[in-house]
Amino acid sequence: MTFSRPFGERDYHELHDPHPPEARGVLSSLVGSRGRTGVPSMQLLVFILALLASLSAQSQTVGSCAPSDIGSPSCPYQWVGVTSVDFTGSGNGLGYVGMTTQCRADFGPGARMCTSSEIVNSDTLSLNAIPALGCWVRPAMKFAIGNSIIDESGESYSSVNSTCVSWKSFSSGNTGLVLLPSGTFSSSQTQPVPSPEQCNVAKPVACCRPQPVGEPQASMMLPAGVGALAMLSMLRGEA
């Protein structure tokens, strides 16, 4: 008795098939009788590689930012929410470290107390996400004029009334920078006592974390659809 191929070869190939079912269906329709020769063309090999790469890419989801990208335009710090704990201007006695540590506890590694600049440049913030009393924000100085500091938010303040005296005060006589539910920033008392800016008024802390902006990553490979059509055209041209 003569076998057209070594015994057990079919079982071996079925167990060690490198191509997923999605690829086999497409390839069988493209190769036709030529695939049975066992000598695929270079164009077919390139197509197989492009198809498998495309299937692999489609199964991947956007993850966290690479360490080298954190803070870059492709992965800026953006608003992710507010702390689950309310803080006075002293960070409940723990200062800035207590506030930013709570951000990490609520939103994971990399989270921290937002600066006004990060909030201004966030595309993840909506008005209904801001608490009724607002939330504490870390100032980001843009420039100074005399004794006044102009913040990235547009607020003008002194160093004392923008950070509750370096996040040490819980006195009603001091104020800190706050993002209000109106979507505006304030660092001076603007409402009747108690006013949200006052350091004795407990409120959540605004938290930011590096977030991918979702832009497509650069690649030397053609988009899946374009690459597949190009390879299909080349294969049919040889037929």
- Domain ranges in the chain are 9-59+222-238, 75-210
Which residue pairs, CB below 8 angstroms and at least 24 apart, start in 191-195? none
Segment of 36-40, 185-189, 215-219 carrying the highest mean pLDDT = 185-189
More confident residue, 42 or 34: 42
Range 201-228 average pLDDT: 66
Tell me how far apart the alpha carbons of residues 132 and 122 are, in angstroms, rounded to a whole number.
Answer: 20
pLDDT the model gives residue 141: 85
CATH, range 75-210 = 3.10.100
Is the pLDDT confidence value at 222 over 50? no
For 104-121, the pLDDT digits (tens) are 999 999 999 999 999 999
Q: How far apart are CA 74 and CA 209, in angstroms?
A: 13
Task: Specify the range with the lowest mean pLDDT, choosing from 44-48, 160-164, 190-194.
Answer: 44-48
Q: What is the mean pLDDT of residues 92-103?
A: 97
Strands 112-113 and 135-136: unpaired
More confident residue, 81 or 69: 81
Predicted local confidence at residue 42, as pLDDT: 65
pLDDT at 16 over 70: no
The pLDDT assigned to 155 comes to 84
The Cα–Cα gap between 108 and 120 comes to: 22
* Whole-number Å distance between alpha carbons of 203 and 81: 13
User: What percentage of the chain has pLDDT greater than the value 90?
Assistant: 40
Q: Do the Cβ atoms of 41 and 238 come closer than 8 Å?
A: yes
In this structure, the chain runs to a length of: 239
